[in-house]
Amino acid sequence: MSETLRRSDAPGGIDLDRRPDRAGAIKSRLTSWDSIILVLTALVLLIASVTVDNFGTSRNFTFMVLDLLPIILIALPMTMIIVTGEIDLSVASTLGLTSSMMGWLWNQGLSIETIIPICVLIGAVCGVVNGFLITGLGLPSLAVTIGTLALYRGLAFVVLGDGAVADFPWNYTGWVTGTIGGGAVPNVLILIVALALVFGVVQHATPFGRSLYAIGANAQAAHFSGIRVARTKFWLYVGSGAVAGLVGVLWTLRYSSARADNGSGLELAVVAAVLLGGVSIFGGKGSLPGVLAGVVLLTALQNALRLEDVSGQALNIVTGSLLVLSVLLPNITTAVRGNWQRRKLRRAAAAR
Amino acid sequence: MAEANARPENQPPKPRTQPPGRESTAPRLEVHDVTKSFGAVAAVQGVSFPLYPGEAHALVGENGAGKSTIVKMLAGVHRPDTGTLRVDGADVDFAGPADAKAAGIAVIYQEPTLFPDLSVAENIAMGNQPLTRLRQIDRREMTANAERLFRRLGVPIDPSRPARGLSIADQQLVEIAKALSAEARVLIMDEPTAALSAVEVQRLFAVVRSLRDEGAAIMFISHRFEEITALCERVTIMRDGRHVATDLVSGLSVDDMIRRMVGRDLSALFPKQDVEPGEVVLEVEGLSREGVFRDISFSVRAGEIVALAGLVGAGRSEVMQAVFGVDPYDEGSVKVHGRRLRKNAPRAAMAAGMALVPEDRRQQGLVMELSIERNVTLPRARKLARLGLLFGGREREAAETWTRKLQTKLGRLSDAVGTLSGGNQQKVVLAKWLATGPRLLIVDEPTRGIDVGTKAEVHRLMSSLAADGLAVVMVSSELPEVLGMADRVVVLREGRVAAQLTRAEATEESVMYAAMGQEVTA
């Protein structure tokens, strides 16, 4: 949390902080989770590009961004949801359902231009169901979205069975996998940057974003401050569903294959990346830049390991371990920081 | 129940002029040159005082003076940065609450922390259960032990009932019994009386006196001077984290104590100015909520302070929370400036110019983890936004303006609000709502648990706001506050309006009579 709070002392505000403890603030900022994860990410990128063959190539960069795409997009609304103290585990199944629907609608002869908005809408409807069960009926989000995780995936198989639809038009699949002007920068990076900017601004510089942190830290006090807690959460689930729907479309186009099992297990990677990015699973704390770094770290690590021919199961081990570590490490850094402070005070007192 | 326990306090306490056995006895507990800082804030600086067996020792000071920090160090929650704590002359270093407990120190907090689903006897034996020969928990011995303790304390609590549903007063007595069963020799009571009725306070004092006479060392923290003079022999006064004086209570007048606490003379505590009331701002008509309150009607005019008085549990907070829209109601209407408000819509109430400073700062008033700045701007972040966007500068400016107006003592605006003392937290809540520019201010227990200095500031503030034409509704359990501040008093009893009194009609007797109905026979 302190990371996001401190962000507001950026230049431009009234500087109330010109105090002797400014140095302390900088120090604690350097030890904040945000910075640790950024440094860690840079390290992984650096080491991998030196030691892993083909990691630093432009071709691999393109692939990495494409691998990044589903995780990063879904992580944007997921960050907001986890900041309010809730969770959405149904995102990967929503992705699968929209992928199936996309194949089915394509078989019905609809045009891609019609199918894309319909798929986003289907995703949003999935979110509406989650949102209603959680905020309307007051059920716990963990249980509800584990339920809809199974439900939406099941529906995906009802729609398309075990089959796949593959004959999507080249001008769309080519755009998703293509790069700007044939260079190294993938077209989808534009989408990532645009959405990340929108979500980043909403989360960190709007009244709506402010209210998310208040809800996550103390929902009752938020309610007493005139924040519509249930309504806010409801719309977060709708947004999460819609983004998952969009990612379902992108996933289908990238592999040119609509399948019911598309993206299964992706929710694990998304939650791991968000927590790795310093968002507290208990709500109220976390920032989007940290999450973006978390996603890059996770994807780069997986990419590097895959280039080293590490098996898929081993990749799961890495994701799982990072998830556990991401919950564990912030606690450790806080403890270390507390110890530093105490030692400093004792020294100061002894000197007196 | 009340009658059964009303016995001991009929005799006024014998005032002791000497600290008991001071010449012959060594201190049971010594705080020696202790310092403790949190971040840049020095909460306690070089404080020393002894606590003798067989004395009741008051610890007083404004909020933020460092009393709670002292208590937490004695309880083993915090470790002193420098200085030492001594028990029976030996230095101790508590790594955690268990160590403090083992050293015979028991702390009774304002809100007891019992396990609600366990029985009273189980709570008392927690962590210390008697075992049978087969290493099973000896339930019979556990219950018998609880009974013995309650007999010793002279209180009729059934050891086999669950802790859930006990009054706060009874819960505290259970905590005391627990402390006795752990053979505590130092009993620290951190504002134990804040939520108790007068009868319950007397019963608690009777118990504390008997423990004191058996040789326990009692440290008693309270903001109520009449309690300190009634219970304690000596008093330690703190200000701004420093020790000011340790003295015999009998040698000090209340004025002396206040002057030493705040370091200045206080003008009248309740300075409500006379204001010609203006137009009607709030009209509550026939408001009812099943099982909570019924048929509540009253109105408030601009410039008026209307107090909602009554016993704890009479439904005062619930009524005002329904008026503000954070709680539901079934029937009736709420009108502001003649326009009916939607139910369950705090935002509509805020748009109509209403602000509610709630009773529970920690749970309802503030988001403890968020910064002071974010808390102050939370209800009106929308108004501070430009084109829907918030920039740090505007929020900071707004927060700075209001915290400065209310003379809030703080480090940095970006510090978490939870790092402030209780009184300053209350100022942040007030700042948060006054910043919205309300025309109707509802304050629920505005001075609960805050020190005299801040209390006077809050009263002065409310008075000047009313003078500027603000309509104020004040829920308060403190009669002097009600009588001093209010233009009119609406007394609630069991969810109904028992009386509406003008300033002239309102006296301690008339308000209490209405609040308690037939129970008072004076």
The domain ranges of chain A are 58-284
Looking at residue B6, its pLDDT comes to: 41
Q: What is the mean pLDDT of residues A211-239?
A: 95
* Edge-to-edge strand ranges of the sheet holding B331-336: B293-301, B280-289, B331-336, B339-340
> Residue A345 — very low, low, confident or very high, per pLDDT cuts 50/70/90?
low
Whether residues A207 and B413 touch (CB distance < 8 A) is answered with no
Residues B421, B397 contacting (CB under 8 angstroms): no
Residues in chain A: 352
Nearest in space to B379 (alpha carbons), one of A4, A230, A221: A221
> Residue B456 — very low, low, confident or very high, per pLDDT cuts 50/70/90?
confident
Phi, psi of B404 (to 5 degrees): -70, -40
Asked if the model's pLDDT at residue B69 lies above 50, the reply is: yes
Looking at residue A31, its pLDDT comes to: 58
Residues B249, B229 contacting (CB under 8 angstroms): yes
Give the tens place of pLDDT for each residue, A311-344: 878 888 887 888 788 777 766 776 776 677 667 6
Looking at residue A6, its pLDDT comes to: 35
Give the tens place of pLDDT for each residue, A37-94: 888 889 989 998 888 888 888 888 998 999 999 999 999 999 999 999 999 999 999 9
Nearest in space to A277 (alpha carbons), one of A41, A5, A16: A41
Question: In this predicted structure, which of A298-302, A346-350, B359-363 has the lowest mean pLDDT?
Answer: A346-350
Q: What is the mean pLDDT of residues B306-326?
A: 89
Nearest in space to B107 (alpha carbons), one of B256, B253, B218, B250: B218
Query: Which residue is closest to A5 within chain B, CA to CA?
Result: B414
Q: Which of residues 21-50 of B touch A (CB under 8 A)?
A: 35, 37, 39-40
Looking at residue A211, its pLDDT comes to: 94
Asked if the model's pLDDT at residue B15 lies above 60, the reply is: no
Chain B contacts of A2, Cβ < 8 Å?
Answer: 416
Alpha helices by DSSP H, listed for A135-265, are 141-160, 170-177, 188-205, 207-217, 219-224, 229-255
Asked if the model's pLDDT at residue A12 lies above 60, the reply is: no
B215: three-class secondary structure by DSSP: coil
Which stretch of DSSP H or E encloses residue B41?
Answer: strand B41-51
Nearest in space to B361 (alpha carbons), one of A84, A223, A221: A221
Looking at residue A350, its pLDDT comes to: 61
Chain A contacts of B416, Cβ < 8 Å?
Answer: 1-2, 5
Whether residues A226 and B379 touch (CB distance < 8 A) is answered with yes
Give the tens place of pLDDT for each residue, B218-258: 999 987 788 888 899 999 998 878 898 898 988 888 778 87
* B41-51/B56-61 β-pairing: unpaired
Nearest in space to B318 (alpha carbons), one of B362, B348, B375, B356: B356
Looking at residue B4, its pLDDT comes to: 42
CA angle B99, B102, B107 (to 5 degrees): 80
User: Who wins on pLDDT, B519 or B90?
Assistant: B90
Strand partners, A285: none
Q: For residues B111 and B121, what is the distance between their CA atoms, to the nearest angstrom?
A: 19
With an 8 Å Cβ cutoff, is A298 touching chain B?
no
Looking at residue B270, its pLDDT comes to: 64
Q: Which of B368, B412, B426 is most worth mutating to test chain A (most A CB atoms within 10 A of its CB)? A: B412
Q: For residues B268 and B256, what is the distance between their CA atoms, to the nearest angstrom?
A: 15
- pTM for this one? 0.73
Chain B contacts of A225, Cβ < 8 Å?
Answer: 346, 378-379, 432
Chain B contacts of A228, Cβ < 8 Å?
Answer: 347
Looking at residue B24, its pLDDT comes to: 56
B81, B367, B414: residue with CB nearest A8: B414
Query: Which residue is closest to B362 within chain A, CA to CA?
Result: A221
Looking at residue A189, its pLDDT comes to: 94
B385, B390, B400: residue with CB nearest A16: B400
User: Who wins on pLDDT, A322 or A3?
Assistant: A322
Question: In this predicted structure, which of A185-194, B267-276, B318-327 has the lowest mean pLDDT?
Answer: B267-276
Query: Which residue is closest to B369 within chain A, CA to CA?
Result: A217
Asked if the model's pLDDT at residue B166 lies above 80, the reply is: yes
Residues A273, A284 contacting (CB under 8 angstroms): no
Which residue is associated with the tokens 């809800």?
Answer: A215
Chain A contacts of B374, Cβ < 8 Å?
Answer: 5, 210, 213-214
**Which amino acid would we find at residue B419?**
T
Residues B44, B70 contacting (CB under 8 angstroms): yes
Whether residues B392 and A223 touch (CB distance < 8 A) is answered with no
> Residue B42 — very low, low, confident or very high, per pLDDT cuts 50/70/90?
confident
Whether residues A207 and B364 touch (CB distance < 8 A) is answered with no
Q: Greatest CA separation found in chain A?
A: 82
With an 8 Å Cβ cutoff, is A108 touching chain B?
no
DSSP B281: E
Looking at residue B7, its pLDDT comes to: 41
Q: How far is B2 from chain A (nearest CA, A)?
A: 35
DSSP string of A97-129, one letter each residue: HHHHHHHHHHHTT--HHHHHHHHHHHHHHHHHH
Give me chain B's average pLDDT, please: 84
Query: Which residue is closest to B360 within chain A, CA to CA?
Result: A221
Residues B257, B266 contacting (CB under 8 angstroms): no
Looking at residue A17, its pLDDT comes to: 36
ipTM exceeds 0.95: no
B392: three-class secondary structure by DSSP: helix
Q: Under 8 Å CB-to-CB from A306, ≥6 apart: which residues?
A: A315
Whether residues B412 and A221 touch (CB distance < 8 A) is answered with no
Q: What is the mean pLDDT of residues B294-298?
A: 94
Whether residues B347 and A205 touch (CB distance < 8 A) is answered with no
Looking at residue B438, its pLDDT comes to: 93
A225, A342, A350: residue with CB nearest B378: A225
Chain centre distance of CA A221: 27
A10, A214, A228: residue with CB nearest B392: A10
Give the tens place of pLDDT for each residue, B70-117: 999 999 989 999 999 999 888 999 988 888 988 889 888 877 788 888
Q: For residues A231 and A252, what is the distance between their CA atoms, to the nearest angstrom?
A: 32
Which stretch of DSSP H or E encloses residue B221?
Answer: strand B217-221
Q: What is the mean pLDDT of residues A264-289?
A: 90
Phi, psi of B64 (to 5 degrees): 90, 0
Strand partners, B34: B47
Asked if the model's pLDDT at residue B416 lies above 70, the reply is: yes
Report the percentage of chain B scoring pLDDT > 70.
91
Q: What is the mean pLDDT of residues A233-243?
A: 97
Integer-rounded Cα radius of gyration of chain A: 22
Q: For residues A287 and A277, what is the distance between their CA atoms, to the nearest angstrom?
A: 8
Give the tens place of pLDDT for each residue, A13-37: 333 333 434 454 555 555 577 788 8
Looking at residue B63, its pLDDT comes to: 63
Q: Which of A224, A342, A346, A352 is most worth mutating to test chain B (most B CB atoms within 10 A of its CB)? A: A224
